[in-house]
Amino acid sequence: MILPWSIGGLILYYCLYKIRVIPRWLSIWGILGSTFTLLATLMLMLNIIELVSPVYFILNAPLAFGELILAIFLIVKGFNRPTITFKENEG
């Protein structure tokens, strides 16, 4: 279950990086955290590490803290909405 979640996290943070609705450092932190979580999950699936081990928790910690910071950031500041103007069609 963690595998699709970490892949989805990579997609989410990449999109947030591209559209710049949150600070860049937070997007990069999310990309790195999702990568570490993906690595931890693959190592777990290959029986290299155990589920309840310090290595597994250390590899998942950056994403956990990053998502807490993202949640607090969105509650406090919200998205940085760019101004979009639409032109009416003439004719």
Question: Domain residue spans in the chain?
Answer: 2-76
37-69 per-position pLDDT tens digit: 999 999 999 999 888 899 999 999 999 999 999
Q: How far apart are CA 71 and CA 65, in angstroms?
A: 10
Angle, alpha carbons 77-78-79 (nearest 5°): 125
Q: How confident is residue 7, by pLDDT bands cut at 50, 70 and 90?
A: very high
User: pTM higher than 0.85, yes or no?
Assistant: no
CA nearest to 22, candidates 85, 77, 83: 77
64-86 per-position pLDDT tens digit: 999 999 999 988 887 666 655 55
